[in-house]
Chains A and B, each alone.
Chain A
Amino acid sequence: MANIYKPDLMEVIAVRQQTSDVKSVALRFLDPDRAREFSFTVGQFGIFSVFGYGESTFNICSSSNWKDRIEFCFRKVGRVTDAMWQVEVGEVIGFRGPYGNGYPVDLWKGHDLVFLGGGIAMPPIRCAVWHALENRAAYGEITIVYGARTVDDLVYVDELEEWSKRERVRVITCVDPGGEKPGWTGEIGFVPTVFGRTELALHDPIALVIGPPIMIKNTMPVLEKMGVSAGSIYTSLENRMKCGVGKCGRCNVGSHYVCKEGPVLTMDTLRNLPLDY
């Protein structure tokens, strides 16, 4: 019997605390054959589990070019993520996937890329940024605007710093008003406002906007003002999931099963779906 719910066993090879309640974890397949045959598209997700506690859904936030590992990033908010917080290097956890459609990175070729993210939305943007940087000639200017509530809530700060030193890459970080602290050199303000202030001249850009619903809503008019059409604006939905394989019945937005026909979709598509996300 093919058991579609049975996970791969993964060894934890690195754990990094990103903030007071966010950690990133790197995994490798215990089965060398699986490690060799495994591939995914950036933007796809996995279902990660701690045995005895249960499963949780996260984006695979590493680049698809990194063959020796996959990474995910989580915030400690419940039973499973509390258990995940305790996991140490060398321990074994479960992984099912990859699931979902991923980003159409081939379609994005030749375009300027704008990444707009808020808070814990950095991981699903990070994999796309690395993909673009590792295929640098295929993409135009890269702009990243990333914000969090406070300076201490920003994740992957070292990588943001590294990206900003690359050619044709602009990184803008911001924190909500009141979230700054002494020595903060980034912007103060919400992602849509800060992005609006940049007044960039972009050539037929592709935008990837991920964050809380309010951030996405307020970013749309800014992008439209810049002449970006809804068909060129992508997001990744974060609907609750259990199975990841189109059966358990909870991630749908209208007839759109987020786990299979998403999580990545354009604002064009999203606008035609009922307000159920």
Chain B
Amino acid sequence: MSALISENKLRQLAAEWIGSGRRTIAPVAIKSRLLYMPLQSAEALSLDTGARPANTIKEFFFPKAETLYGYRVKGRSIELIEPANPEEQIILAARPCDAAALPVLDHIFNWDFKDDFYNRRRASTTVITLACTEADEHCFCTSVGGAPDSERGSDAMLLALGDGRYEVRCITAKGQQLFAGATEASTETGKAIAVPLRNFEPEKVRAFAVEHFEDPFWAEHTQTCVGCGACAFTCPTCHCFDIVDAGPMAGGVRVRTWDTCQSAIFTQHASGHNPRSSQPGRQRQRILHKFAIYPEKFGEVLCTGCGNCARNCPAGLGVLSVIREI
């Protein structure tokens, strides 16, 4: 038996969630592209799976700028102020490659030191994915252990029947709670696209990158990179950050902001020495981090095959284009 929900009923549910004050985040069509953003109304929800959003859901767990604490300076005394608790939120119609990044990110935010900024957002969020019915030339989830209907990181998954109805698969209790009483039992099932072809073996990428650390390959194949970091900022798994103070000396906030290994000053020492002084070295770091360093540390690649690095690259690069050359 399966459980089905109509598009109308789904929008009704979304309207209820929004109405009850829960932040409900979903893809919204803005001009020609999709972006994950908090819904103002259920009508704004896009259930179009023909394209994937240009951003990812990581910003709702690891915001672009997050206050770590506030400080107030009074003469020679300083008061530190804890930030507010995150609100409950529901992410609706996330792509499986976005949801799959969450268990991958859990490792880095929890080995030894526990990052509760991330953890409490994980706890207060329910993720409902929408299985993909189309893939584009940049998609490669099946190369890195994913699938268009991978349930990894999802609390519930929607699979389109193609007629305005969706199969609802509740994966966790949190997911079940949201859809309780809203579905109808059926024998019909929704489906995702046939699995796209595997493009590469992550292990081969790892072996090449490690063995060719100093190789003209990196300069030859990444020389068009402009170092903008779009690959990292639109990647569901890239998690590098900076910590900066914002606001006047008398009272302000210490903020964690997204950063990228593609920036020239990312690793520059105070002395001026820079271990990664050239763009090819920084591109190599990105490949190494995803396919060698992270797997060695945490047993899985730091990539879900979403292809956003390529879709958003002004120079036509991205993980896949470099890997194809490998």
What's the least CB distance linking B187 to chain A, in Å?
46
> Given A52-B247, A239-B267, A249-B261, do A254 and B293 touch, yes or no (CB 8 Å)?
yes
| Binary interface encoding of chain A residues 218-249 relative to chain B, with 1 for a CB under 8 A from any of its CBs, else 0 | 00000000000000000000111011011111
Contact A247 B252 (CB under 8 A): no
A182 at the interface (CB under 8 A from B): no
List the one stretch of B46-54, B71-79, B94-102, B317-325 in contact with chain A. Answer: B71-79
Interface stretch, picked from B107-115, B152-160, B305-313, is B107-115
Known: A246-B112, A249-B289. A9 touches B78 (CB 8 A): yes
Which B residue sits closest to A78, measured CB to CB? B270
Within 8 Å of chain A (Cβ to Cβ): is B240? yes
| Residue B182 interfacial (CB < 8 Å) | no
How many interface residues does A have (CB within 8 Å)?
Answer: 44
B289 neighbours in A (Cβ, 8 Å): 249, 252
Stretch at the interface among A104-112, A130-138, A201-209, A269-277: A269-277
Which of A9, A51, A250 is the one whose CB lies under 8 Å from B249?
A: A51
B293 touches A255 (CB 8 A): yes
CA distance A174 to B91 in the complex (A): 63
A52 touches B243 (CB 8 A): no
Indicate whether A149 reaches chain B with its CB closer than 8 angstroms. Answer: no
Q: Judge if A186 is at the interface, Cβ distance under 8 Å.
A: no
Tell me whether B240 and A248 are in contact (CB under 8 A).
yes
**Interfacial chain B residues near A213, Cβ < 8 Å:** 273
With an 8 A cutoff between CB atoms, is B220 at the interface?
A: no
- The answer, yes or no, to whether B242 is at the interface (CB within 8 Å) is yes
Q: Flag if A54 contacts B76 (CB, 8 Å).
A: no
- B223 CB, min distance to chain A CBs, angstroms: 20
Bound form: Cα–Cα A90–B254 in Å: 22
- Known A-B contacts A4-B115, A9-B78, A239-B275; the reply to A51 vs B73 at CB < 8 A is yes
B267 to A5, Cβ gap below 8 A? no
Q: Is B68 an interface residue (CB 8 A)?
A: yes
Complex interface residues of chain A between 88 and 144 (CB less than 8 A to chain B): 90-92
Q: Which residue of A lies closest to B276 (CB)?
A: A276
Asked if A6 is at the interface (CB within 8 A of a chain B CB), the reply is yes
Q: Is B239 an interface residue (CB 8 A)?
A: yes
Contacts of A243 in B (CB 8 A): 241, 243
Q: Do A240 and B116 have beta carbons less than 8 Å apart?
A: no
In the complex the two chains form, is B243's CB within 8 Å of A55's CB? yes
Give min CB distance, A272 to chain B, whole Å: 12
Q: Do B108 and A252 touch (CB < 8 A)?
A: no
Chain A residues, Cβ within 8 Å of B113 = 4, 245-247
Q: Verify A92–B76 contact, CB threshold 8 A.
A: yes
Query: Contact: A275 with B213, CB < 8 Å?
Result: yes
Q: Which residues of chain A from 39 to 77 have a CB within 8 Å of any chain B CB?
A: 49, 51-55, 75, 77
Asked if residues A240 and B77 are in contact (CB atoms below 8 Å), the reply is no
Which one, A4, A53, A81, A277, contacts B275 given CB within 8 A? Answer: A277
Indicate if the CB atoms of B241 and A242 lie closer than 8 Å: yes
Cα A274 to Cα B71 in complex, Å, equals 40
Residue B33, interface by CB 8 Å: no
- Residues in B neighbouring A251, C-beta threshold 8 A: 267
Contact B68 A3 (CB under 8 A): yes
Measured between alpha carbons, how far is A3 from B85 in the docked complex, in Å? 12
Q: Decide yes or no whether A260 CB sits under 8 A from chain B.
A: yes
Q: Is B256 an interface residue (CB 8 A)?
A: yes
Task: Kindly state whether residue B268 has any CB partner on chain A within 8 Å.
Answer: yes
Closest residue of chain A to B79 (Cβ to Cβ) is A9
Q: Is A2 an interface residue (CB 8 A)?
A: yes
| Alpha-carbon gap, A128 to B44, bound state (A) | 62
Check if A77 sits within 8 Å of B270, measured CB to CB: yes
Give CA–CA (A1, B77) in the complex, Å: 24
Query: Considering the chains assembled together, what is the distance between the CA atoms of A250 and B252 in angstroms?
Result: 26
User: B-side interface residues toward A, CB under 8 Å?
Assistant: 68-69, 71, 73, 76-78, 80, 82, 85, 108-109, 111-117, 120, 210, 213-214, 239-245, 247-250, 252, 254, 256, 259, 261, 266-271, 273, 275-276, 281, 285, 288-289, 292-293, 296-297
6 pairs across A/B with beta carbons < 8 Å?
A51-B78, A52-B252, A243-B243, A246-B112, A249-B240, A274-B210
Ranked 7 nearest A-B pairs via Cβ: A52-B249, A249-B240, A245-B113, A5-B68, A255-B293, A1-B116, A51-B71
Interface residues of A (CB under 8 A from B): 1-7, 9, 49, 51-55, 75, 77-78, 81, 90-92, 212-213, 238-240, 242-243, 245-255, 260, 274-277
Q: Give 20 new A-B contacts, CB below 8 A, not counting A7-B80, A249-B240, A255-B297.
A: A1-B116, A2-B116, A3-B116, A4-B116, A5-B243, A5-B256, A9-B80, A51-B73, A52-B71, A52-B245, A52-B249, A55-B254, A78-B270, A245-B115, A246-B112, A247-B113, A248-B240, A252-B293, A254-B293, A276-B275
